[in-house]
Amino acid sequence: MLVAMTEQAQRGRQRRRGEELEAALLEAAWQELVEVGYARLTMESVAVRAKTGVAVLYRRWPNKDDLVIAAIHYYGNTHPVEIPDTGSLRDDMIALLSVASAARVSFVAIITAAFSGLLSSTGLTPAQVREKVTADRPTWSADIFARAHERGEIDLDCIPPAVLTMPFDLMRHDMLMTYKPIPPERVLTIVDDLFMPLVARQTARHGHLRR
């Protein structure tokens, strides 16, 4: 079938075809999206980067928006974030924030696209877009917290939900503001100065006390 020849772009071939070509196109679109952003990404810039012509793009996707959406999807499916399991909550969080920050520049790309008018027609907010894209995937942090709970490191019943999402909220914030992965020092600050003090303090008050 198709798969017969796609494994290796063996030399001798001058033209890519099928899945191999499509992957190259989506990869090029993704790179453009990350490097120059949705607004300055053009069909031709993608074609040039993929070393082909715009017609090849239009044969697959009817317009720029669909190409970008496909590229985001492609990246999400081919670059899964693996959840660390170091044995301690602190190290798990440091590892997860680091790897997620490095790998998930995708989030910035999505938001860039969203803000630039990609979804002005749908009327979705970035949060809704994020939900849509990450709907199928399980939450990264859920496993880590569950394990920490089982180890007795934390008591999930006593920790307000906002505490658990805070590190990732801050990560997204920083990435949006700087366009870059979070530096290691910042990860340590988030974990050691903000997160751990809030989850470690199990004694005393029983979470959620409002008023």
Please report, as ranges, the residues that interact with DNA according to CB under 7 A: 1-2, 4-5, 12-18, 21, 40-44, 51-56, 58-59, 62-64
Cβ-based nearer residue to DNA, 52 or 189:
52
The answer to whether residues 114 and 173 touch, using CB atoms and an 8 Å cutoff, is no
Could you say whether residue 202 binds a copy of itself (CB under 8 A)?
Answer: no
Three-state secondary structure along the chain? CCHHHHCCCCECECCCCHHHHHHHHHHHHHHHHHHHHHHHCCHHHHHHHCCCCHHHHHCCCCCHHHHHHHHHHHHHHHCCCCCCCCCCHHHHHHHHHHHHHHHCHHHHHHHHHHHHHHCCCCCCCHHHHHHHHHCCCCCHHHHHHHHHHHHCCCCHHHCCHHHHHHHHHHHHHHHHHHCCCCCHHHHHHHHHHHHHHHHHCCCCCCCCCCC
Tokens of 158: 């006593």
Shortest approach of a copy of itself to residue 203 CB, angstroms?
Answer: 12
Residues 16-55: x where in contact with a copy of itself by CB under 8 A, - otherwise, as a string: --------------------xx-xx---------------
Cβ-based nearer residue to a copy of itself, 100 or 190:
190
Tokens 């906002």, located at residue: 162
The answer to whether residues 13 and 7 touch, using CB atoms and an 8 Å cutoff, is no
Residue 30 sits at the vertex; the CA angle it makes with 84 and 109, to the nearest 5 degrees, is: 70
Could you say whether residue 116 binds a copy of itself (CB under 8 A)?
Answer: yes
Residues 160-179: x where in contact with a copy of itself by CB under 8 A, - otherwise, as a string: x-xx--x--xx-xxx-xxxx
Residues contacting a copy of itself: total by CB under 8 A? 41
Cβ-based nearer residue to DNA, 36 or 200:
36
Shortest approach of DNA to residue 51 CB, angstroms?
Answer: 5
Restricted to residues 78-107, the positions that interact with a copy of itself (CB under 8 A) are none
Shortest approach of DNA to residue 58 CB, angstroms?
Answer: 4
Restricted to residues 118-147, the positions that interact with a copy of itself (CB under 8 A) are 120, 125-127, 130
Cβ-based nearer residue to a copy of itself, 16 or 100:
100
CA–CA distance, 169 with 175 (Å, rounded to integer): 10
Shortest approach of a copy of itself to residue 61 CB, angstroms?
Answer: 20
CA–CA distance, 96 with 106 (Å, rounded to integer): 15
Name the site residues for a copy of itself (rule: CB under 8 A): 36-37, 39-40, 111-112, 115-117, 120, 125-127, 130, 160, 162-163, 166, 169-170, 172-174, 176-180, 188-190, 192-194, 197-198, 201, 207-210
